[in-house]
A and B are shown apart, each in its own frame.
Chain A
């Protein structure tokens, strides 16, 4: 464990030293992977399918605020949909517009979640989203995850019905639009997924807020188990076509990834928990203090070591340390 903590601390040190270079590099990587995956999965528009366009967009994003990555991802998705058929592009545009004016106005930072959810769907590990956001976010994150799931299903729908959407218009535009909207609204699998993710996210959030040791780990585990149970219930009740093994392994893998998240974002050393009790005129205080890993105070020089070195550190009135 100590090696891991040392590794984490050295990461933190390197990051704080070179943050000015690391941040743009990370943004570049994220934008590159995101746009490349969108092109690989959709790829209906040849003009934006080239590596040069993706590279240029990623480079641009690396020097701009984070929200630009989301904007570019949304734009790429819309352009691909547009190349496939204007009807599905209209549905996607309406969905993104609704999402922006109803929710992302309040919490623009969560826009990335909406774009990352389809990416995790493509990687076949979508269950990481509710677990990770339950640990790192707030219960309101259910809205962004929900929109992310809908966007994923829309992308999937486009892939499955490519021929129908791209076909020369034997049917008129209204009929096509109606088909898309009805198939999205009546998609039981999508509705089940949104409900499961929402329940799991809120559950993980509630459990990780509780005051008991290893609450983050327990929250991730409880979230994974609940996810498996809910998905199996949905699968049996609505005769959905999820892979049971996929749900189980996906949830377990998501829980394991959450342990990594927990280590980097939380990392408490429960062995060194201190339970303190004290009082003042109005209250009696029961305080539980759990130190973070690697947060041991630096050892001050003992009288022995001061004597041997012949130096001592003095804190002057203005707070500056001086060695005499």
Chain B
């Protein structure tokens, strides 16, 4: 016989799986530390590419100036200066990524936990 409560709960669960669950379940599949580390690594790669692209564009624009002054500037100091800028930008970006990943993971965990509790209730219904 059809059970109205079960049908309602199952519909809610299926709708969650199709909607927010699709976004949150893969996140909760990781341990917290693993998820944050993965995001930090991805951000490191993306940030480095972005920095190289910007430096490349600026270098391309100022190539003539650079060539004309190449003998007058201390290249090691220049590289150190660029390195410092890179480290500062990267530090800020990784910090923002860490904050975002922690927030995202806790949000996903909370959302999936409520899904699991509804799932538990449903499974208990089968033993009643």
Decide: A105 near B61, CB < 8 A? Known: A98-B53, A318-B3: no
CB–CB B50/A101 < 8 A = yes
Chain A, range 95-123, C-beta contacts under 8 Å to B: 97-98, 101-102, 105-106
CB–CB B46/A102 < 8 A = yes
From A105, A178, A181, A319, give the contact of B4 (CB < 8 A). Answer: A319
CB–CB B61/A101 < 8 A = no
Q: Point out the residues of chain A lying under 8 angstroms from B4, CB to CB.
A: 318-321
* Smallest beta-carbon distance B86→chain A, Å: 14
Q: Point out the residues of chain A lying under 8 angstroms from B49, CB to CB.
A: 101
* Smallest beta-carbon distance A88→chain B, Å: 13
Q: Point out the residues of chain A lying under 8 angstroms from B6, CB to CB.
A: 318
Once the chains are docked, how many angstroms separate the CA of A96 from the CA of B62?
Answer: 22
Once the chains are docked, how many angstroms separate the CA of A181 from the CA of B57?
Answer: 9
Once the chains are docked, how many angstroms separate the CA of A177 from the CA of B56?
Answer: 12
* Smallest beta-carbon distance B121→chain A, Å: 13
Once the chains are docked, how many angstroms separate the CA of A105 from the CA of B54?
Answer: 18
Is B124 part of the contact surface with A, judged by Cβ < 8 Å?
no
CB–CB B60/A174 < 8 A = yes
* Smallest beta-carbon distance A32→chain B, Å: 27
Chain B, range 35-84, C-beta contacts under 8 Å to A: 42, 46-47, 49-50, 53-54, 57-58, 60-64
The binding surface of chain B is classed by DSSP as helix
Q: How large is the interface on B (under 10, 10 to 19, 20 to 34, 35 or more residues)?
A: 20 to 34
Q: Point out the residues of chain A lying under 8 angstroms from B53, CB to CB.
A: 94, 97-98
CB–CB A102/B47 < 8 A = yes
* Smallest beta-carbon distance B126→chain A, Å: 13
Tally chain A residues at the interface, Cβ within 8 Å. 18
Decide: A102 near B93, CB < 8 A? Known: A318-B4, A318-B5, A319-B8: yes
Is B30 part of the contact surface with A, judged by Cβ < 8 Å?
no
Once the chains are docked, how many angstroms separate the CA of A94 from the CA of B60?
Answer: 13
Once the chains are docked, how many angstroms separate the CA of A101 from the CA of B54?
Answer: 13
CB–CB A181/B61 < 8 A = yes
Once the chains are docked, how many angstroms separate the CA of A191 from the CA of B8?
Answer: 53
By beta carbon, the residue of chain A nearest B45 is A101
CB–CB A105/B63 < 8 A = no
* Smallest beta-carbon distance A314→chain B, Å: 13
CB–CB B42/A94 < 8 A = no
Q: Point out the residues of chain B lying under 8 angstroms from A91, CB to CB.
A: 57
Once the chains are docked, how many angstroms separate the CA of A97 from the CA of B54?
Answer: 10
Q: Point out the residues of chain B lying under 8 angstroms from A321, CB to CB.
A: 4
CB–CB B50/A106 < 8 A = no
Once the chains are docked, how many angstroms separate the CA of A318 from the CA of B4?
Answer: 6
Q: Point out the residues of chain B lying under 8 angstroms from A177, CB to CB.
A: 57, 60-61
Once the chains are docked, how many angstroms separate the CA of A174 from the CA of B4?
Answer: 71
Q: Point out the residues of chain B lying under 8 angstroms from A178, CB to CB.
A: 61-62
Once the chains are docked, how many angstroms separate the CA of A105 from the CA of B2?
Answer: 45
CB–CB A174/B46 < 8 A = no
By beta carbon, the residue of chain A nearest B53 is A94
Once the chains are docked, how many angstroms separate the CA of A321 from the CA of B93?
Answer: 56
From B5, B42, B58, B60, give the contact of A105 (CB < 8 A). Answer: B42
* Smallest beta-carbon distance A109→chain B, Å: 10
Once the chains are docked, how many angstroms separate the CA of A160 from the CA of B23?
Answer: 43
Q: Point out the residues of chain B lying under 8 angstroms from A319, CB to CB.
A: 3-5, 8
Once the chains are docked, how many angstroms separate the CA of A97 from the CA of B61?
Answer: 18
Chain A, range 78-100, C-beta contacts under 8 Å to B: 90-91, 94, 97-98
The list of the 4 closest CB pairs from A to B, nearest first, reads: A320-B4, A319-B5, A178-B61, A101-B46
Instruction: Give the B-binding residues of A (Cβ under 8 A).
Output: 90-91, 94, 97-98, 101-102, 105-106, 174, 177-178, 181-182, 318-321
Sample 9 A-B pairs with CB under 8 A, ordered by A number: A90-B57, A97-B53, A101-B49, A101-B50, A181-B57, A318-B4, A319-B3, A320-B3, A320-B5
User: 20 more A-B contacts (CB under 8 A) besides A101-B49, A106-B100, A177-B61?
Assistant: A94-B53, A94-B54, A94-B57, A97-B53, A98-B50, A98-B53, A98-B54, A174-B63, A177-B60, A181-B57, A181-B58, A182-B61, A318-B5, A318-B6, A319-B3, A319-B4, A319-B5, A319-B8, A320-B3, A320-B4
